[in-house]
Amino acid sequence: MDNLLGEFMGMLVLTTFGCGVCANLTLKGSKGVGGGWICITAGWGFAVLMGVYTSVALGAPQADINPSVTLAKTLAGVYTWPQFAATAVIQVLGGMCGGIITWLAYLPHWAETEDQAAKLGIFCTAPAIRNTAANFLCEFIATFFLMFMIWMIFSKNVGGAAGLAPGFGPYLVAMLIWALGLSLGGPTGYAMSAARDLGPRLAHAICPIAGKGGCDWGYAWVPVFAPLCGGAFAFVVAKALGVLG
């Protein structure tokens, strides 16, 4: 139960901060409009850091806050399949609640912003160039490196016999998220997580957002399944290289 509470609240914090930075830089009248890609990638890195700390503090020592990470760890024997399913659902619900909070925080600004696609982009990802195969591949690659580098960061050869100091690992993961956004985020917006994308997309669907358009459900499956495949492949490669024992 503590694990599920931690995953829910960690995901809520992550998406509130992450979707919040997108809203700040996008919505008309906000003081952050025009901040640019550096602000977005840094904001999402900080969002992950705060989400992980929240998750751990509330009793979720793994602090996955991402179904792709949970799936990879399930393949590694950390979770059972029923635990994976329950955790993934909770993560999506946390992401949805974070999206709702973002909507409330910027309540007067939605009506002032005419661009429907820009408003949707606050909640979820969309490709810069719509090409399903290429978009899937980009999300697959980005999530592969997310999970692969997490295992590298926490490997025995990096942390030593005693492991990383408590609380230090999340800083390194936040730097990883920032790096991935800077390097691989351009084509698709680097969802790398079904919960990060689907949860807030559901919030966009159910909230009475002024002047909103559609939710782009035709694309929504890509940032759900491509990250899961990328995380699973990272397990295969890390196992083959002996990092997982």
User: 195 vs 69, 77, 129, 200, 219, CA distance in Å?
Assistant: 11, 21, 23, 8, 15
pLDDT of residue 90: 98
CB count, 10 Å around CB of 1?
A: 6
For residue 1, what pLDDT is reported?
A: 63
Handedness of CA 126, 127, 131, 137 (dihedral sign): negative
DSSP state for residue 113 in the 8-state scheme: -
**Model pLDDT, residue 236:** 97
Give the chain's radius of gyration (CA, Å): 17
The encoded tokens of residue 231 equal 């995380």
Count how many residues are written for the chain: 245
For the chain (245 residues), the mean pLDDT of every run of 10, in chain order, is 91 98 98 96 98 96 96 97 97 98 98 97 98 98 98 91 88 97 98 98 98 97 98 97 89
Contacts of 38 (CB under 8 A, 6+ apart): 182
Residue 81: predicted pLDDT: 97
What are the residue ranges spanned by the domains of the chain? 2-240
Looking at residue 163, its pLDDT comes to 85
Q: What distance in Å separates the CA atoms of residue 31 and residue 4, rounded to the nearest whole number?
A: 36
Inter-residue contact 79 to 70 (CB < 8 Å): yes
CATH class of 2-240: mainly alpha
Distance CA 123, CA 19 (A): 6
Look at residues 107, 95, 94 and name the one whose alpha carbon lies nearest to residue 19: 95
Distance CA 76, CA 239 (A): 9
* Predicted structure pTM score: 0.96
Phi, psi of 8 (to 5 degrees): -65, -50
Distance CA 110, CA 114 (A): 8
